[in-house]
Amino acid sequence: MFHTDAAQAVGKIDLRGLADPNIGDDMITLVGHKFGCPKGVAALYVRPTCFNEYEHTGSILLMGGGQEKGRRGGTENVPYIVGMGRAAEILLEKRGNSETTNLESNIVHMSKMRERLLSNLVNGIGNDGIVRVNGPSNPEQRLPNTLSVGLKGVQSGKLLAKIGDIVACSAGSACHSSNQTSYSSVLKALEVPSGYAIGTLRLSVGPDTVEEEIDFAANAIIEEAVSMINR
């Protein structure tokens, strides 16, 4: 049985192929606030008949009520569920009079903003090996809205302590942002050199991000990073 955690991908790339009943994944987790819903709602896609195709012991981790098909406890949050469905519909609606969907338009815009942010950091800090992108070298193989970038000679925790009030970003990942001397298992698995991993920043853009915000954030990061490097 194969499960994909698509929390970060939903609303950023087209996931419909994953749900193909013939060749798609068995289960897919989607999180609402990643594509326009309030925080507190998510969905688990379960491929039809997948439970009939795999042997299982019958043991379960959670016992839920009948209204949740036995899979979890609690009562459905109907307004948020409706909101999540509407957000999904909006993503697939056509943009104006064009044949381009909102999702496709958002992908193009977020990619442009992400690349502008990276270009600003490289040009502002210096293109002599200080700035390193974590992940695939091909930008099209990375999520269009997220930039994970390592800054050699910088401790991201200390940098965030200086700029955290004016730039919303995290050190490496949201789950590993408090420790200044270690870094996440994901960066280790990607074989990111320690000098860059310790200085990794995770920055995100959205469909409504504008160039002025990108330039403001980049300038704040550049000023403090250059100061730390030159000390």
Question: pLDDT class for 175, splitting at 50, 70, 90?
Answer: very low
Q: Catalytic residue positions?
A: 175
DSSP lists the bridge partners of residue 170 as 202
Residues of the chain with CATH 3.90.1150.10: 107-229
Q: Which pair of tokens denotes residue 58?
A: 């019958």
User: What is the rounded average pLDDT of the residues 131-149?
Assistant: 92
| CA distance readout (Å), 196 to 153, 159, 160, 218 | 8, 14, 15, 18
CATH of region 107-229, choose from 3.40.50.300, 1.20.1250.20, 3.40.50.720, 3.90.1150.10: 3.90.1150.10
Per-residue pLDDT tens over the stretch 12-48? 999 988 988 888 899 999 999 999 999 999 999 988 8
> Residue holding tokens 């999540």?
84
- Is residue 42 classed as helix, strand or coil in its secondary structure? strand
Q: Give the mean pLDDT of 143-165.
A: 94
Q: Are 196 and 132 in contact (CB under 8 A)?
A: yes
Which residue do the tokens 């270009």 mark?
119
pLDDT tens for 46-99 read 888 887 777 766 655 567 777 777 767 778 889 999 999 999 999 999 988 889
For the segment 216-228, what is each residue's pLDDT rounded down to a tens digit?
999 999 999 999 9
Residues 6+ apart with CB under 8 A from 27: 1, 2, 3, 4, 44, 45, 46, 47, 50
- For the chain, give every residue range classified as CATH 3.40.640.10: 3-92
Q: What count of Cα atoms within 13 Å lies in the side-chain half-sphere of residue 99?
A: 0
Q: What is the pLDDT of residue 181?
A: 58
pTM value is: 0.85
pLDDT at residue 177 in the model = 46
Query: For the domain with range 3-92, which CATH number is right: 3.10.25.10, 3.40.640.10, 3.30.499.10, 1.20.200.10?
Result: 3.40.640.10
